[in-house]
Amino acid sequence: MALALRPEALSAENQAYFDKCVEKLGFVPNVLVAYAHDDAKLSAFAAFYNDLMLAPSGLSKLEREMIAVAVSSVNRCYYCLTAHGAAVRLLSEDPVLGELMAMNYRAAELSLRHRSMLDFAVKLTESPQLVGEDDRAGLRAAGFSERDIWDVAAVAAFYNMSNRMASAVDMRPNAEYHRQAR
C-alpha cells in the first residue's frame, strides 16, 4: 500500500477475524490489513462486507462475486479484479468465466438473470443518474425480487467505494489470489 499507516492493536473480535482468515484462506486479505490502522474502520468494513457478501440473500455468493468483478472491471481495480476474479473461478469452478468476468462480462455466455444483473450493476457504476424504472423492471422480468434488486445495487455500490479506496492507496492483492482455481 502506498500509505505508511502502521497497524494499531486489533480488538479481540478483529484478531479472531484475522485468525479465521488464516485458518480458512491461509492468509489475511490485504484489504483487511490495509484497514488495520483503524480498528473501528476495520470493524465497519468487515461487518458491511460480511453482510453484503455472505449473509442470506436471494443472490448467490457467485452472483455477488460476479457483480464485484463486473464493477471492478469498469473501474479497473487491480485489487478487486484479482481477489474477486479468484472467487468467481472458485465458486463457478470455471476459470474461463472468472477471466471473462474480469475482461468483459458481455463476452460470457450468461443467463438472462446474470446478464440483467450485471448490466444493471455496470450502468449503476458508469452512469448512475440514468438508472430508472425501466432498469428495475428489467431485473424484475429476469426474476429478481424487490429485495434482490436492493442487494444488487448494494453490492455494486460497495465495490464502487472499495475500488476507489484500493486505487487511492495503491492496494495490491495477495499473491495467493493469482494462483487460485486455475
CATH number at residue 117: 1.20.1290.10
The rounded distance, in Å, linking the Cα atoms of 94 and 2 is: 33
Q: What is the pLDDT of residues 32-74, one digit of tens each?
A: 999 999 999 999 999 999 999 999 999 999 999 999 999 999 9
| pLDDT mean over 23-35 | 95
Non-local (6+) Cβ contacts of 12 within 8 A are none
SS3 32: helix
Phi and psi at residue 91, to the nearest 5°: -70, -35
> For the chain, what percent of residues have pLDDT higher than 70?
100
Q: What is the pLDDT of residues 90-103, one digit of tens each?
A: 999 998 998 999 99
Domain that holds residue 138: 61-179
Beta carbons of 59 and 151 less than 8 angstroms apart: yes
Within this chain, do residues 75 and 146 fall inside the same structural domain, yes or no?
yes
pLDDT of 1 > 90? The answer is: no
- pTM attached to this predicted model: 0.95
pLDDT of amino acid 182: 82
